[in-house]
Structure 1
Amino acid sequence: MYGIAFLFAIGLALYRIDRQRQTPPSTALPRPVTRAELAGDAGEAAVDAELRRVLAWLCGENFYLHRGPVLLHHAPGARYPTAEIDHLAISPFGLFVFETKNWTGHIEPGPDETSLVRVGASGERELRKSPLKQNHSKVVFLRGVLPGMWPVHSFGVFASDDCTLSPALPPSLMRIADLPHQLRLCKTNYESRDQRGVNVKAAWQAVLAVAEVDRDSIERHRSRVRTDSLIHMINS
């Protein structure tokens, strides 16, 4: 049973989040950044930098990698109408949805394809949601609204140097060092079918028709996710 102090702290956090939602962006006080968020930001920055290097190597200037997250309107009217993409890359050989994790430890397959097991330094085992599961609805949505000849790929990238991967994991789960090989393989496979290259500019405009990239929209989405997580913790 939760103590009164704990429930009060949760209630206060919910109140602050609600007040932050109601406060105009120009006057809202910045929310303190957690250690996990800082680590996540560092991982995403590292993946962004490597993606730009690899895509420039493979495509020259003919690619688009959005700087920052992309918010898809993948389920209008639903409880969770928006979904956040960490990195969206568009190349002549396809669109790529990347979910970045800055986890440490050894990563193994979970009991099903939706989960992974993280093994910590002391041997503790922790069940976590797979990045590919997090990407699933986003990729399905994009495949449904974009022309069928434009392939949409899903990848999970582990950014930390202190992370190792089990060979039993699918190749779509990788470390940063694997990005050059995997993207080159996608390019080779696409070109081997003698297909016309994706129009990068047109593809980005098509994505923007069902997405937002402004900071306020993304923060409202994240605030809703944080609030729902707190409510779930109270009710569990």
Structure 2
Amino acid sequence: MLIKILIAVGGYYLYRRSKGRRRPRTSHLARTAPRSADAIGAAGEVATQAKLRETLRWLCGDEFYLHDGPLVIEHAPGTAFPTAEIDHLAVTPFGIFIFETKNWSGHIAPSVLPGNLTRTSHSGETEDRRSPLAQNRTKLRFLREQLPDMWPVAGAGVFTSPTAVLHRDLPIDLFSLNDLPYWLRHKRDSCKERSPVDVRRATAAVLMYADTSITALTDHKARVTTEPDFSTGINPSD
């Protein structure tokens, strides 16, 4: 009897040790918790960056510049908001392009408020959000003022979520990720009569106004923590 008890105790001890070594299970709540808005936005930017690189290689071969990640430019030194963030910068022989990425889901339509778009969720709730084109406006104006007229500068808003449905009356410069190659091809074809952009010189000219320090993006985000007022169209990150 004593031997049986010892064997049972030893078996239980080994069982407890093996169970303790197992990787703890992730709770159901942790598995199903939604990702943060920042994580969702970052995923959309990664997808756009990959699509841009693929498309530019298709159109331009090796003759292009695609900035690696967001770029902070100093467009208003001495003011409360001296910097602006560009999600994606591409320099090509047919123009300089900046892209604002949005990973919004639901139905995206024009808004009655200038500079805004109306998003309707899958549950039917509506809200107005700042249009990517409005967010690009200040950046485009700044670059056009600083760069030679012979270098076309344009911007667009890219919606990356596969569940986003775009209204037919949205401007042509707002499109889904899958339409990015066609938009850029149209830009290339519309510039065939112009002299090609010197990609190297144009890139250097744009980066003259960039803050490329390690803390540039963090510092910029800290300055624009003020919540945008959608009713007035004021957004300090524009």
TM-score by length of 1: 0.80
- Following the alignment from structure 1 to structure 2, what is the Cα–Cα distance between the partners of residues 113 and 94? 27
Partner of 1:211: 210
Looking at structure 1, the residues matched to 190 and 216 of structure 2 have their Cα atoms a distance apart, in angstroms, of 36
CA distance in 1 between counterparts of 2:39 and 2:96 reads 27
- Secondary structure of 1:215's counterpart equals coil
Deviation per residue, 1:132-151 (Å, 9 max, x gap)? 00000000000000011101
Quick check: 1:197 aligned with 2:196?
yes
**SS of residue matched to 2:107:** strand
For 1:162, the equivalent position in structure 2 comes to 163
Report Cα offsets for 1:165-223 as digits up to 9, x if no partner.
001001100000111111000000001x2x21101111111011111233311111111
1:128 is aligned to 129
**What amino acid sits opposite 1:229 in the alignment?**
E
Superimposed CA distance per residue, residues 28-81 of structure 1 (whole angstroms, 9 cap, x where no aligned partner): xxxxxx711100100000000000000000000000000111111111111110
Partner of residue 229 from structure 1, selected from 227, 230, 235: 227
Structure with greater proportional helix content? 1
Max Rg structure: 2
Q: Could you tell me which residue of structure 1 aligns to residue 21 of structure 2? A: none
Separation in structure 1 between the aligned mates of residue 163 and residue 217 of structure 2, nearest angstrom: 30
Cα separation, 2, equivalents of 1:44 and 1:213: 19
Spell out structure 1 runs of 4+ moving beyond 2 A.
none
- Partner SS, residue 215 of structure 2: helix
Verify the 8 A CA contact 1:74 1:138 in the aligned structure 2: yes
Q: What SS class does the counterpart of residue 227 from structure 2 fall into?
A: helix
Where in structure 2 are there 5+ consecutive unaligned residues?
1-34, 229-238
Report the CA distance between 1:154 and its aligned residue.
1.0
Amino acid at match of 2:213: D
Q: Which runs of 5+ in 1 are unaligned?
A: 1-33, 231-236
Q: Aligned ranges for residues 141-152 of structure 1 at < 5 Å? A: 141-152=142-153
1:38 aligned counterpart, secondary structure: helix
**C-alpha distance in 1 between matches for 2:78 and 2:129:** 28
